[in-house]
Amino acid sequence: MSERELEVDEAVAEEPALSRREQAVARSLFTARARAESRLQRFLDAALELMNEGESGRDFTVHEVVERSGQSLRLFYQYFGGKHELLLALFEESVRSTADHLRERIAGEDDPLERIHRFVIEYYKLCRPPLPGEPVEPLATAWVMVDFAQQLLTSHPTEAALAFDPLVTLFGEVLEDAERAGCIRSGLRHSPIAGMVLEVIMFNTFSTTIGGTSVRTVDPDPAEELWEFILHGVGTGVPRPGPVTR
């Protein structure tokens, strides 16, 4: 018996008082779901490989994905309505993986403010495009999805909100911890702030011309500069004088 079959049998066994008929149906559903997930993952893996190989990230066709996955075009359209849905699935997968990765990275920081700092720096690294010839880390797929993210944010805001939810939720939790500890101002709306910070980080990693600087500058570190801006902004913190009255 295969490992997957053992998992199916254990899952079915956990269901209380199933009849033989119900057990057979449950086992069949578990097997069908596992097969469907496997086929879906092959499409996603093929598309991700093509994205990492291509110069422009999304410059691949549905037929190339089908060929790379070793599956049929008919099966592809059973899972996706077209390339946009495939890209959206890839983006959602990337966001979930990124959120899990960041949660692990910030877990070792005891100071709530330092957790925000670590989140910003680590997410910046993931969004930053690699230099020519530089190896691509398994999780560093956010950079190839930046232009797709921009398209989502402008043309499909509802889809974008759903896709970004794991990251927004995580950063919102980090902000909430920092507020309770008195490290940041109270009364901030965490979800909108989290969304703005994520957008700033993601798009700043590509701003190699607007500010006249490179995202690969070593001194000062652009990630740390961005963190300082997020933390302090551009205000002095000194109250401005009110208007002169006569």
User: CA 116 to CA 123: how far, in whole Å?
Assistant: 11
Contact 158, 185 (CB under 8 A): no
Under DSSP, the state recorded for 109 is -
Q: Which helix (H) or strand (E) holds 67?
A: helix 62-69
- Residue among 33, 48, 157, 154 nearest 97 (CA): 48
Neighbours of 227 (CB within 10 A): 19
Domain assignment of residue 217, yes or no:
yes
Bond into 220 cis (ω within 30): yes
Residues 48 and 75 in one domain: yes
The CATH number assigned to the domain holding 106 equals 1.10.357.10
Residue ending a domain, among 59, 81, 103, is: 81
Domain assignment of residue 142, yes or no:
yes
User: CA 112 to CA 4: how far, in whole Å?
Assistant: 41
Q: Find the mean pLDDT for residues 49-75.
A: 83
Residues 70 and 159 in one domain: no
For the ranges 16-20, 101-105, 157-161, the one whose mean pLDDT is highest:
101-105
Domain residues for the domain of 167 are 83-239
129 by DSSP, 3-state: which?
Answer: coil
Residues 25 and 138 in one domain: no
Q: Compute the radius of gyration of the chain from its Cα atoms.
A: 23
Residues 136 and 21 in one domain: no
Query: What pLDDT is attached to residue 210?
Result: 47
Residues 38 and 156 in one domain: no
Q: How many domains does the chain have?
A: 2
**Buried (b) or exposed (e) across 114-129, using 16+ Cβ within 10 A?**
ebbbbbbbbbbbbbbb
* Main-chain dihedrals φ then ψ at residue 216, nearest 5 degrees: -105, 10
Residues 54 and 36 in one domain: yes
User: What's the start-to-end Cα distance of the chain, in Å?
Assistant: 91
Residues 76 and 104 in one domain: no
Lowest mean pLDDT among 17-21, 161-165, 176-180, 191-195: 17-21
Residues 72-131: tens digit of each pLDDT = 999 999 999 999 889 888 888 888 988 999 999 999 899 999 999 999 999 888 887 766
Residues 156 and 132 in one domain: yes
pLDDT confidence bin for 141, thresholds 50/70/90:
low
Q: What is the mean pLDDT of the chain?
A: 77
- Residue among 221, 55, 46, 40 nearest 143 (CA): 55
